[in-house]
């Protein structure tokens, strides 16, 4: 049976200085070996949730359980968290004067020197940083430092790894590799990863479970594909897929039969095709995205976006027929 490694119960943390900030009454469970991504717009409370879960911030109320044992807050113990939980924050907390190898090895005890050496070498290999072993932290790029910080956090039999913006320092190429590394490490070691990212694409790509946070509240939780296709809030559809949002009248004008106040669709749900029920739009702009293009389309003052895979098929100032094949009602 799947075991809950982390349980968060009615967790609340408000900051005294600002109104309606922090997190409010958040509850969820995490199964061992999952990758969980906390997603939300800037200021929604993602970092606050992660830091309170780890025990870096004192909760106002509620609790966090690690395998059924309460994670103690900063007022209850000197070293936050639980010894099998580690956090990598955006400042990495590395010893900048020490070498990469020593930064990682220092997390292990000296009782078995051979095992310490083997574990450190294996972890460096896992994160593709063996070639940096003898370099000082000050000689590394931000992305390299991030890898060392993750290796350091994982090396000591860590069961739960919390990552605050793990891809903030890396370029697109490295980001893809680091994402793949995290997936591989989870598969190899069974570690549970809880990460915060401002880029929802990270969560869609990596996570087994997404936690959607809005204004400090947990608004939806589930598998990425399910949440993408069945968002319970317009906020989520906008965040995950840059969804188009139309009011009732705008929807009717486009020939969409609905009773809903608002309809929402992702650009890829708007089909460019000639059909009896499709409407003519003017192409206002074309955004090149690599293997596809996004079209900004206008009809009677209403703007929508659609995708075309064969670039150049429709150009600026062309007229195209669009059929909103699928949409969500709110
Ligand atoms: N130390 C603090 N004192 C007062 N208010 C704070 C503090 N830290 C965060 N806040 C406020 O709490 C809210 C949530 O902040 P938090 O950093 O958790 O959001 P976030 O979702 O991680 O944002 P971002 O994606 O921009 O990092 C924000 O309104 C923020 O201004």
User: How far, in Å, is the centroid of ligand 1 from the Cα of 87?
Assistant: 18
Q: What is the pLDDT of residue 3?
A: 81
Domain boundary among 234, 268, 294: 234
| Token reading at 206 | 């990596």
| pLDDT tens-digit readout, 35-70 | 999 999 999 999 999 999 999 999 999 999 999 999
Q: Is 308 in the pocket of ligand 1 (CB under 6 A)?
A: no
User: How far, in Å, is the centroid of ligand 1 from the Cα of 281?
Assistant: 41
CATH number for 282 = 2.40.50.140
Low-confidence ranges of the chain (pLDDT < 70): 1-2, 18-20, 275-277
Give the position, in ligand 1's atom list, of the atom nearest the Cα of 45: 18
Task: Decide: residue 171, CB within 10 A, 0-12 exposed, 13-18 middle, 19+ buried.
Answer: exposed
Domain of 115, in residue numbers: 4-234
User: How far, in Å, is the centroid of ligand 1 from the Cα of 302?
Assistant: 35
User: How far, in Å, is the centroid of ligand 1 from the Cα of 23?
Assistant: 9
Give yes or no: residues 112 and 157 share one domain: yes
Side-chain half-sphere of 185: how many Cα atoms within 13 Å?
A: 29
Q: Is 15 in the pocket of ligand 1 (CB under 6 A)?
A: yes
Give yes or no: residues 195 and 257 share one domain: no
Q: What is the pLDDT of residue 2?
A: 64
Cβ partners under 8 Å of residue 80, min gap 6: 54, 55, 56, 72, 73, 74
Give yes or no: residues 226 and 249 share one domain: no
User: How far, in Å, is the centroid of ligand 1 from the Cα of 293?
Assistant: 35
* Selection from 264, 274, 259 nearest residue 239 by Cα: 264
Residue 144 three-state SS: helix
**CA angle (58 as vertex; 57, 60 as ends), nearest 5:** 130
Q: What is the pLDDT of residue 76?
A: 83
Side-chain half-sphere of 70: how many Cα atoms within 13 Å?
A: 12
Q: Is 45 in the pocket of ligand 1 (CB under 6 A)?
A: yes
| pLDDT tens-digit readout, 134-161 | 999 999 988 889 899 999 999 998 999 9
* Selection from 215, 152, 148 nearest residue 178 by Cα: 148
Residue 18 three-state SS: coil
Give yes or no: residues 220 and 259 share one domain: no
- Tell me the pTM: 0.90
Q: What is the pLDDT of residue 18?
A: 64
Query: Per-residue b/e over 32-50, b at no fewer than 16 CB within 10 Å?
Result: ebbbbbbbbeeebbbbbbb
Q: Is 21 in the pocket of ligand 1 (CB under 6 A)?
A: yes
DSSP H or E stretch at residue 171: none
CA 30 remoteness from chain centre: 15
**Number of other CB atoms surrounding residue 108 within 10 Å:** 18
Q: Is 13 in the pocket of ligand 1 (CB under 6 A)?
A: no
Predicted-complex ipTM score: 0.96
Give yes or no: residues 251 and 178 share one domain: no
User: How far, in Å, is the centroid of ligand 1 from the Cα of 47?
Assistant: 7
Give the position, in ligand 1's atom list, of the atom nearest the Cα of 49: 18
Query: Alpha-carbon torsion 313, 321, 273, 235, what sign?
Result: positive
Give yes or no: residues 171 and 188 share one domain: yes
Give yes or no: residues 15 and 162 share one domain: yes
Ligand 1: residue whose CA is nearest its atom 24: 42
Side-chain half-sphere of 311: how many Cα atoms within 13 Å?
A: 9
């Amino acid at each position: 049976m799947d075991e809950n490694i982390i349980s968060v119960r009615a967790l609340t943390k408000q900051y005294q200085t600002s109104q309606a900030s922090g997190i409010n009454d958040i509850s969820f469970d995490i199964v061992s070996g999952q990758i969980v991504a906390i997603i939300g717009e800037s200021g929604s409370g993602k970092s606050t949730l992660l830091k309170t879960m780890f025990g870096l911030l004192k909760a106002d109320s509620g609790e966090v359980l690690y395998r059924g044992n309460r994670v103690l807050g900063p007022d209850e113990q000197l070293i936050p968290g639980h010894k099998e939980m580690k956090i990598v924050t955006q400042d990495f907390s590395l010893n900048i004067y020490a070498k990469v190898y020593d930064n990682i090895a220092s997390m292990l005890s000296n009782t078995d020197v051979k095992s310490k050496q083997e574990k450190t070498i294996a972890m460096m290999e896992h994160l593709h940083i063996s070639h940096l072993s003898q370099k000082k932290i000050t000689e590394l790029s931000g992305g390299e430092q991030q890898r060392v910080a993750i290796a350091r956090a994982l090396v000591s039999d860590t069961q739960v790894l919390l990552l605050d913006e793990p891809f903030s320092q890396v370029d697109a190429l490295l980001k893809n590799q680091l994402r793949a590394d995290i997936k591989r490490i989870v598969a190899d070691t069974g570690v549970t990863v809880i990460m915060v990212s401002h880029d929802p694409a990270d969560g869609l790509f990596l996570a087994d479970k997404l936690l959607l946070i809005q204004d400090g509240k947990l608004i939806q939780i589930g598998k990425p594909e399910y949440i993408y296709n069945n968002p319970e809030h317009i906020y989520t559809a906008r965040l995950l897929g840059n969804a188009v949002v139309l009011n009732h009248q705008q929807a009717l004008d486009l020939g969409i039969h609905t009773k809903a106040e608002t309809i929402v669709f992702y650009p890829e749900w708007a089909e460019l095709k000639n059909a009896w029920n499709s409407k003519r739009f003017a192409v206002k702009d074309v955004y090149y995205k690599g293997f596809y293009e996004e079209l900004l389309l206008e009809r009677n003052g209403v703007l929508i976006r659609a995708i075309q895979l064969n670039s150049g098929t429709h150009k600026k100032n062309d007229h195209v027929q669009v059929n909103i094949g699928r949409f969500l009602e709110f």
